[in-house]
Structure 1
Amino acid sequence: MTMRCQYPPGPPVITGYADGSEYRVIENTQGRLSCSVTGGNPAPTLTWNCINSGTLETTSDGTVTKTHVWTAQRNQDRTCTCRSFHYSGEKTVSIKIEVLYPPTTPTFRISSTQVNGTVKVIRNKQLSVSCISSGNPPPSYTWINADMATTNRQDLIVSSVQNNGTYTCNVSNSMNPSVGTAASGSNTSFIDVLILYPPSIPMFNYWNISGPNISTRELDVIRGDTFKVACTSSGEPAPAYYWDNQGHNRILTVTNITTDRSSICKARNTMQETVGQILTRSATASLKINVLYPPSVVTLKYHNGDSSLVSITTTLNIREGNPLMVTCSSVSKPPPSYTWTGTVSATSGTLKVDSAVRSHTGKITCNVENVMARTFANPDKTKVGKTSRGFNLQVLCNYFILAFYFNYCTFIL
């Protein structure tokens, strides 16, 4: 007669781990847990409640072992339980699974808004960007930029941003599995910061934006000229241009100019931050245009002895021995120079003779000239303006008894 004694098995044990402890495994590597129970008649049944994957069961020397094997993936963290089933009762042992994985590619946030690529910030404003990455264990953060010291924190804060630049966020962690060799994980991402700033005070260039600079903001031209002036200002974004005489246009075009004028250019832009403010700003500058012109109408006036002025048309009669003073005048820009030619000559605007004699009789001409110098050649740099006007001078004789001899005057004493 054979007797079979029934008795319960010992408690299940996860090899190498206490009940409720933690098992760390790196993503994409193999996880392996063995659960064993010793003794028991009849032999107990083991099951794993874990990650759906393969199991292997072996029995040796009264010990039943069931091994659970799987490829670890992130977000599989859970508690796995090994159950021992026997007529005498059910017993369990558990272990916490933690999957380790390297940092994800960083993303960026300003306030609660996700940003990427280029971030626009108004100059002198604060830049505050958070670098976001997930990893297990959580990553450490390092910000790198050429214009600042390396910053070891998740949030980048620049109190007064000045320059365009690339800001790089590096993330890293160290993964230490329960079994096997530790591994390092890292990732990186960057944002480009574009500084927005208002238009500078406009500058002027002759003819086009590549032409010579009108540094004095003053331009000399000659009456009748046609020319162009470009307005140039730096700003981000690039400004729009408005001329008070011509509306929305960067280039001022002037055709057949006749009089002096001042033209005002306004440069304006709207700065819109990626996250934050929208500001519109403008700057203006005035261009003074001086119109040069040649002498035109020439006026001749005789200074009579009583200080009165007499306009000369074609002929001036004075008595011999009297003083002669004639003023020549003409309007031009720049003012003209004067020269007198004929029976009497001079190099000023006023012709003066202390005592007229008969040899002064004849044609006298006032020559008027100015030199008009453009700021820039169009096509020539300078141009000479000329005009003249003359009159006939008749010097009359003084006499007591006058006899005519071949048109000569003789005094009889």
Structure 2
Amino acid sequence: MWIDNCYYCFEYISCTQAPVLISNATSVKVNEALKLTCTHPTATVVRWFRQPAGNSTSSLILVMGYTNNACAFVPPTIPDDFSTCVCSGTGFTCILKPLKIINHEDKWKCSVSINTQATFSNEVTLIITVPVVYATLTPEVPVISVLPNVPLSYLHCVSSVGRPSPNITWYLDKLTPSDYSDDVDFSVYSSSSTLADVTTSSLTMTPTLYYQDARVYCNVSNGFGQVMSNRTLKINVLSIPTKPTIMYNTAFVPSNISVIQHSTMTLECASSGNPAPSISWATFNGSLISSSFITIKFSTSNEQEQIVCRANSLLDPTNGSRIPAENTTALNVNILYPPSAPSCQIKTFPILSNSIRAVFNEPFTMTCTSKSNPPPSRYTWTLPYDVKQNGSQLSIQRMQPSNNFRYTLEVVNEMNATLARDVVYGNITDYYTFEILYPVTNLSIYHRGQANQHINIPTISVIKGREVSFGCNAFSNPASRYSWILSGVIVANGTKWNISFVDNTIIGCIATNTLDPTGVEARDTSSYSNVSVNVLFAPEAPKCTFQTCETYSETKHLKVIRGHSVSGRCTSKSEPGSKFLWTPVNSGIDDGFFINNVSRHQSGNYTCIANNEMHTTFDGIINGTNQSSFYLDVLATAYAMFVGNYTVLLNTTLSVTCPFTAGNPPETRFTWFHGNTLTIGSQQNISLSSVKLSNEGYYKCRVNNTMDPTGCATQDEYTETTFYVDVQCE
């Protein structure tokens, strides 16, 4: 045949189409066969290649050729990978032998020669599936004992090898082992991991008493049906003993009972739990009795005794240490006796006397108790005018003077034993009297004079520095202590106080007494009254302030330039405020001073007079007055007077005196000018000797002085006179 001894020979094919490799299944179970078919429309020879899982290269496994309606192989014997290979026209089919897990993800492809070049088909990757066959549930016990509400995480389910990865689900079967349809899926409380195709799942659950006798199991599946775990675990929920109940003649006994001393009774104690608890009694005489029933005689001198029933069990969880558990119920037993003499208290203070002090117009509460068992069933108070109150507490809404009478208290109790038929009554009577205490009230301040004058106005007016006498009085029991306050500071004690005032202030009187009602901590009561003091005083020496040149000045010597205007204001501190007069009359209006276009004849002394009327609370109206003066100094410019013209002979002498009227201030300066520019002298007189023709012309004398007006800039003022000198020749 053509293919003999031709392992690497190629058939020449003119088309370029690649071969196609298909399988009869996308995946195959382990130990099952798989059919691969390679097709090409013209090829008569194909080559098979396998790339084992994990390798990066493929190897030639078999060459198949179809000629003369028969298949030929190179090598002649089909490799161990295949169970059989057949040819059919353009199709070449090989069946892989039953596959193992190791063949998972092996890759197969085929090729044909096209123009002497190998052309490969697509690759087929083997997917080997392994059905899971069992699931193992641990712990390997039929029953697990658990504690309620305590998380447990020791339940594990392990699958057999499986591919795809096995999936484990958990179920809780509540008392229906033959019916799985109502089982609860508990997988949400589990966590799983897969290693080497084996899945392990752990269940974390918190059992409650509801889970008692339920069963838990797991199912495993990887697509080939559910496989149930090798066992189901029955849940035994342990529980501590319930609080014991005590019964008498099958009736429930409350935790507190009353018995007659030396009486006998039989009691039963019951408790439930898992496991069932054991019962024992602890009696008040120290005995321990292991039994559900007990017969006891109450022979004791104590007022109260106690009997305890104990329920004990041992909790033994599957995965944990043994836990001893106990619950108890105590039975309190009261021994009955009649009332004793009452003991009374106000709040927490015991009353040692039946004569009681209480505060007027305040609520009063006193509680009296009598020692007995059972406690008194009735307290009855008899108040003045036969008024009745029930209860251990005497309550008076507001203490009044009429309460100074005797009060009676009767105490009754009923000794009603739990098992006795008859009720025995006991009683006692006691008596109380009251003294009424009064806090400080009706506090008043008065003026002490020839006749005491009550001060009922918020503000009084007094003269500054003049002594005033005050008194203070209030109603109280016990009597009050008095303190005087000036500007917030205590300055004197007693009912009387003398003081003189300098500034406005507030005076006050505090009256304090100490109330010590029975059974209550002593406390001070006080009342406070105050009066505002308005201190009046006559005017102080007025101050005069003047406005000149837009400035303000305070002075006793006011200098103003003649022809200017001046205004001023007179102020004086007084209480009440002052009214003002001016001298000379009409030199001012109210507190204002004004002169327009001042003239020199207005120089002189001016006086501002301040007056006020002081309306005192206790001394009537008192007038006050004060005054201040200032001197008005009118400043004036020096005045140069007329000088006539002169005619003089050449080479003679000319003397001229500059006539003037002095200004204010009178100091005067002189300046002589010839021809308006040449300064020729600075004295009042000038003298021209040996007159020359050049001396002819106009001459000017200037007189000036310096004025320093109050509040203004210093001013130089001048006036001038001009004359003509005519020089002639003989």
For 1:176-215, what aligned pairs fall within 5 Å after superposition? 176-207=516-547, 212-214=552-554
Higher-Rg structure is 2
**Are the structure 2 counterparts of residues 218 and 98 from structure 1 closer, same or farther at C-alpha, using a change threshold of 3 Å?**
farther
Choose the corresponding residue for 2:557, options 205, 211, 218: 218
Residue 119 of structure 1 corresponds to: 460
Is the Cα contact below 8 Å between 2:650 and 2:690 reproduced in 1?
no
Unaligned runs of 5+ in 2: 1-350, 369-381, 409-430
**Are the structure 2 counterparts of residues 149 and 263 from structure 1 closer, same or farther at C-alpha, using a change threshold of 3 Å?**
same
Q: 1:266 corresponds to which letter in structure 2?
A: I
Q: Tell me the CA shift for residue 351 of structure 1.
A: 2.5
Q: Tell me the CA shift for residue 26 of structure 1.
A: 0.6
Residue 263 of structure 1 corresponds to: 606
Is the Cα contact below 8 Å between 2:607 and 2:630 reproduced in 1?
yes
Residue 8 of structure 1 corresponds to: none
Is the Cα contact below 8 Å between 2:358 and 2:437 reproduced in 1?
yes
Is the Cα contact below 8 Å between 1:77 and 1:98 reproduced in 2?
no
Q: 2:725 corresponds to which letter in structure 1?
A: L
* Alignment partner of 1:54 is 2:370: no
Choose the corresponding residue for 1:30, options 348, 358, 364: 364
Choose the corresponding residue for 1:294, options 614, 626, 637: 637
Q: 2:641 corresponds to which letter in structure 1?
A: T
**Are the structure 2 counterparts of residues 318 and 284 from structure 1 closer, same or farther at C-alpha, using a change threshold of 3 Å?**
farther
Q: Tell me the CA shift for residue 350 of structure 1.
A: 2.5
**Are the structure 2 counterparts of residues 352 and 322 from structure 1 closer, same or farther at C-alpha, using a change threshold of 3 Å?**
closer
Choose the corresponding residue for 2:616, options 257, 260, 273: 273
* Alignment partner of 1:151 is 2:486: no
Q: Which of 280-289 and 186-195 deviates more?
A: 186-195
**Are the structure 2 counterparts of residues 53 and 325 from structure 1 closer, same or farther at C-alpha, using a change threshold of 3 Å?**
farther
Q: Distance in 1 between matches of 2:694 and 2:522?
A: 122
Residue 162 of structure 2 corresponds to: none
Residue 330 of structure 1 corresponds to: 661
**Are the structure 2 counterparts of residues 154 and 211 from structure 1 closer, same or farther at C-alpha, using a change threshold of 3 Å?**
farther
* Alignment partner of 1:314 is 2:649: no
Q: Which of 312-321 and 236-245 deviates more?
A: 312-321
Q: Distance in 2 between matches of 1:154 and 1:233?
A: 39
Q: Distance in 2 between matches of 1:182 and 1:242?
A: 65
**Are the structure 2 counterparts of residues 316 and 240 from structure 1 closer, same or farther at C-alpha, using a change threshold of 3 Å?**
farther
Residue 230 of structure 1 corresponds to: 569
* Percent of paired sites with the same residue: 21
Higher relative contact order, chain-length normalized (CA < 8 Å, sep 6+): 1
Is the Cα contact below 8 Å between 1:55 and 1:69 reproduced in 2?
no
TM-score (norm 2): 0.40
Q: 1:284 corresponds to which letter in structure 2?
A: Q
What secondary structure, in the 3-state scheme, does the structure 1 residue paired with 2:670 have?
strand
What secondary structure, in the 3-state scheme, does the structure 1 residue paired with 2:441 have?
coil
Q: Distance in 1 between matches of 2:521 and 2:386?
A: 24
Q: Distance in 2 between matches of 1:117 and 1:151?
A: 21
Unaligned runs of 5+ in 1: 1-14, 35-46, 59-66, 84-93, 301-311, 397-407
Q: 2:440 corresponds to which letter in structure 1?
A: P
Q: Tell me the CA shift for residue 295 of structure 1.
A: 3.5
Residue 441 of structure 2 corresponds to: 104
Q: Distance in 2 between matches of 1:174 and 1:121?
A: 35
Q: Distance in 2 between matches of 1:375 and 1:113?
A: 55
Q: Distance in 1 between matches of 2:509 and 2:649?
A: 100
**Are the structure 2 counterparts of residues 348 and 97 from structure 1 closer, same or farther at C-alpha, using a change threshold of 3 Å?**
farther
Q: Distance in 2 between matches of 1:145 and 1:223?
A: 57
Aligned residues: 331
Q: Tell me the C-alpha RMSD between the 2 structures.
A: 3.9
**Are the structure 2 counterparts of residues 73 and 149 from structure 1 closer, same or farther at C-alpha, using a change threshold of 3 Å?**
closer
* Deviations 1:320-366 (CA, angstroms, capped at 9, x unpaired): 44462413313322333211111782112232456655554432210
Is the Cα contact below 8 Å between 1:25 and 1:31 reproduced in 2?
no
Q: Tell me the CA shift for residue 150 of structure 1.
A: 2.8
Q: Tell me the CA shift for residue 198 of structure 1.
A: 0.9
Q: Which of 148-157 and 279-288 deviates more?
A: 148-157
Is the Cα contact below 8 Å between 1:329 and 1:349 reproduced in 2?
no
* Deviations 1:65-99 (CA, angstroms, capped at 9, x unpaired): xx99644446x26864799xxxxxxxxxx998642
Q: 1:391 corresponds to which letter in structure 2?
A: F
For 1:392-411, what aligned pairs fall within 5 Å after superposition? 392-394=724-726, 409=730
Q: Distance in 2 between matches of 1:334 and 1:328?
A: 17
* Alignment partner of 1:341 is 2:673: yes
Is the Cα contact below 8 Å between 1:202 and 1:267 reproduced in 2?
yes
Is the Cα contact below 8 Å between 1:103 and 1:172 reproduced in 2?
yes
What secondary structure, in the 3-state scheme, does the structure 2 residue paired with 1:257 have?
coil
